[in-house]
Structure 1
Amino acid sequence: MRHSLPLAPQFYVTAPQPCPYLEGRMERKLFTALQGETAEALNNSLSKQGFRRSQNVLYRPSCADCAACLSARIDVASFRPSKSQRRTTKRNADLERRATSPWATEQQYDLFRTYLDARHADGGMADMDVFEFAAMIEETPIRSRVVEYTDDQDALAAVCLTDVLDDGVSMVYSFYQPDQAWRSFGTYMILDHIEIAREAGLPYVYLGYWVPGSAKMGYKSRFSGLEVFRKNRWQQVPDPEEVEADTHPLSTDPIAEQVANISLPGIRPAKG
């Protein structure tokens, strides 16, 4: 008997677990599988609604009593580099960018392990082995690229797993040489992805989540042209210092209401 995937994706909620960004709070995610012939269209649609991809899953924070995590992107046309960012670009002028198909290599994994051991030894990815790393890179049902940066000795210095959307590029995960802090790799790769999007005629660079007040996320707020997905729409952020984390216990809509308000490709949203 022939079976086909359901016309509409099914959404699920993860069990609560300690929040990695705000002490004393619990995080929860709303997620759905990314599979089948509609994977590309679904990824494009949900990325515009604050979702992120992790392998074949799309997820969005859906905490019971907090809405501090904001999906962030840069409007390429509005971006203007600061003096510090221009200096970062000059410091990395020796790097060569190379975009390849999503295929994991031993060189990438060695850099990944070096990065984790130095920066995130107690993080959730600390125990990833080479097979799990390969899955993270290669298990993508959509158009993805591995963007590698090599120095003038052809040594691998930084890597970013990047998705290509119909309206931009999404920086899924990046890692780099931790002993070259002077390069400011995190900032540089965002700057270069802005250039990648500009070269491709794409309007946005998706950065993942930004939590106002979180030191781990602070670097994302230093880019002009920043927009966040808040209250079901993208909003410009003229001054990140004025954005406060929304931790009110009534800040999050019920799950059923959240799902009902999600716009799906080829499916009209339910009328209220």
Structure 2
Amino acid sequence: MSNLATLRFFSTPAHACSYLEEHQATTLFVDPKASITPKLYEELTRIGFRRSGDYLYRPHCDSCQACIPARVRVEDFQPRRSQRRVLNRNADIQVEMIRPVFTNELYQLYSRYIELRHGDGDMFPPTQEQFASFLMSSWSDTRFCCFRDADGRLLAVAVVDVLADGLSAVYTFYDPARTELALGTLAVLWQIEYCRQQGLPYVYLGYWIQRCRKMRYKEDFQPLELLLDERWQALPER
């Protein structure tokens, strides 16, 4: 029997949708008191759940199915010309995977990113407590992937959870002044290459939302699979 059968779930009241204006959303949460193991987390990830701190959630809206879980099929991924340019432009950047930790350097980058890129969102204003409660977890195998330039300056951090079948991309924050480096794209490309080297088949990218401009970027990483009707299916390339 799957461990999922032992879980309890709770749904929130309707609230303003973070992605689609004038829409109401409902979120399904795993019981916060449940004992989460790495194996259980992996099962939940494969059916579309995501992590925010210690909380596991999935959209559960009656009248809208716009938020669709997405993952990159690593073995068949080939970077596009624009993505190869991003890799070439950042050839001197070094990446180190570290255990989750709070440092002033990491927090200052996170705070600057939230203030300049998400000043109108529900994550503003950033706080130290928010940094820890959002990015870290007491039960996940989490890594901070730190991207540094040749002079050692921290440019970006990709927060990932290591799963048996890949990486779950939790969140990425980066220097908002360095738009020419396309650091968000670089972070995804690095995760795909890391999984390829480790023999892991997938990078889980969260939710693809066709009607939300900020979330459509995921379709640039083909082949992309979407969880539709409880089955992972390929998104046709455009």
TM-score (norm 2): 0.94
Which amino acid is the alignment partner of residue 222 of structure 1? D
CA distance in 2, matches of 1:19, 1:63: 10
Partner of 1:216: 214
* 3-state SS of 1:128 partner: coil
CA distance in 2, matches of 1:90, 1:33: 45
**Structure 1 unaligned residues grouped into runs of 5+:** 1-5, 242-272
- Pair 1:150-2:145 in alignment: no
Match of 2:178 among 152, 177, 180: 180
- Post-superposition Cα deviations, 1:222-250, rounded to whole Å, max 9, x if no partner, equal 111100111111110123x5xxxxxxxxx
CA, structure 1 residues 131+24, in 2 after alignment: closer, same or farther (shift >3 Å)? closer
How many residue pairs are counted as aligned between the two chains?
Answer: 235
CA apart distance, 1:63: 0.7
CA distance in 2, matches of 1:46, 1:27: 20
Partner of 2:7: 9
* 3-state SS of 2:126 partner: coil
Contact 1:33 1:56 in 2 (8 A): no
CA apart distance, 1:57: 1.3
CA apart distance, 1:56: 1.2
Aligned pairs (5 A) from 1:84-163: 84-163=82-161
- Post-superposition Cα deviations, 1:94-133, rounded to whole Å, max 9, x if no partner, equal 1110000011211111001111111100111112311221
Contact 1:78 1:225 in 2 (8 A): yes
Partner of 1:257: none
Which amino acid is the alignment partner of residue 17 of structure 1? H
CA apart distance, 1:135: 2.6
CA distance in 1, matches of 2:163, 2:116: 32
TM-score (norm 1): 0.82
Which amino acid is the alignment partner of residue 82 of structure 2? S
Which amino acid is the alignment partner of residue 54 of structure 1? S
CA distance in 2, matches of 1:19, 1:190: 25
CA distance in 2, matches of 1:122, 1:35: 32
Aligned pairs (5 A) from 1:1-272: 8-33=6-31, 38-239=36-237
Q: Calculate percent identity across the aligned residue pairs.
A: 39
Please report the RMSD computed on the Cα atoms of aligned residues, expressed in angstroms.
Answer: 1.7
CA distance in 1, matches of 2:216, 2:128: 30
CA apart distance, 1:7: 7.8
- Post-superposition Cα deviations, 1:154-199, rounded to whole Å, max 9, x if no partner, equal 1110001100011110110110000111111111100000011111
CA, structure 1 residues 128+33, in 2 after alignment: closer, same or farther (shift >3 Å)? farther
Which amino acid is the alignment partner of residue 61 of structure 2? C
Contact 1:34 1:43 in 2 (8 A): no
CA distance in 1, matches of 2:190, 2:32: 28
Contact 1:111 1:175 in 2 (8 A): yes
